[in-house]
Amino acid sequence: MRVTQSMLANNMLKHLSTSYANLGKYQEQLSTGKKINRPSDDPVVAMKGIAYRTNLTEVEQFKRNFSEAYNWVENSDAALDKATQALQRIRELVVQASNDTYEETQRQAISQEIKQLTEQLVTIANTKVGDKYIFNGTNTLQQPVQMVNGSITTSSNAEEVKIELAKGIYIGVNVDPTKVFHYDASQKGKGLFSDLQFLANDLDDPTKTGKDINEYLGYIDKHITNLLGVRAELGARMNRIELMEDRIDSQQVIAEKMLADNEDVDMEKVITDLKTQESVHRAALAVGARIIQPTLVDFLR
């Protein structure tokens, strides 16, 4: 085959530009850390990339939802703890007051304290986290217990507040307020606040005997048991949430790993490739320098 200078020059230029293009590709891979930059580089990687990203965003979102779930559960538990303490104190006071040796003024003092404790329980029932009341079911913007001039009304909503913590798994994070902070004046032993009001009234009533007061011990105990039951359930749920968080954590690791495996570059490989390409490029340049030699023209003078 007849070879001419222009062919050599064209070929050299072609090879140099191919070599440059490869260097450019490796540079892009190294500086972005990604194997591909457009779908046509590798359609499968691109498609999977979109799916994995969606997956990862979802998992990250569930992780974010956990903090809100903890927020609910922990605040509810803390509030219920305070409520239990208040009820314990009330129980002590009832025990004291059921003693017939207490005279009227002393009973009134106890009654006063119980009224104070009732108010505290109302405050606890009206616990607000952020901008929501946590003991009013899904009706979070409305105060569950109103106390006007000592008379109490409740408007509790027993709906569950659900949070999605994994794909398709919804966990209720609130406490059913009707189980604890309830008002039912129809009968004694039914509602917490109604019972406390009955108790205070009875203590203020001089005709009531220690035996009458003693009757409340049973009711109070029932409310305490209720509270403890609710807290136990809450604890169990928290446990479940923690377990789920563990799972989501590992899911996140897996999702990130899949994403990385799919589209992140293997640094060692690319750096090696780059180094190889660099020497190829140097060789191409050196060859070029040898090929663009003085021609016959230079020797014929």
For other proteins, the binding residues (CB under 8 A) are: 1-7, 10-11, 14, 36, 38-44, 46-47, 49-51, 53-54, 57-58, 60-62, 64-65, 68-69, 130-132, 136-142, 157, 159, 161-164, 170, 174, 263, 295-297, 300
**Shorter beta-carbon distance to other proteins: residue 81 or 170:** 170
C-beta separation of 192 from 223 below 8 A: yes
Least Å distance, CB 11 to other proteins, is 8
The Cα-based distances of 100 to 87, 94, 97, 104, 199 in angstroms read 22, 11, 7, 10, 15
Of 44 and 217, which has the nearer Cβ to other proteins? 44
Closer to other proteins by Cβ: residue 27 or 61:
61
Q: Report the distance separating Cα 159 and Cα 137, nearest Å.
A: 5
Least distance between other proteins and beta carbon 22 (Å): 13
State the minimum distance, in angstroms, from the CB of residue 1 to other proteins.
5
By beta-carbon proximity to other proteins, the closer residue of 72 and 219 is 72
Helices 210-263, 43-97: inter-axial angle, 10-degree rounding = 170
As given in the structure block, the two tokens for residue 212 are 């009458």
Q: Which is nearer to other proteins, 179 or 188 (CB)?
A: 179
Smallest gap from Cβ 184 to other proteins, in A, equals 23
CB of 220 to other proteins, least distance (A): 30
In this complex, which beta carbon is closest to other proteins, that of residue 163 or of residue 203?
Answer: 163
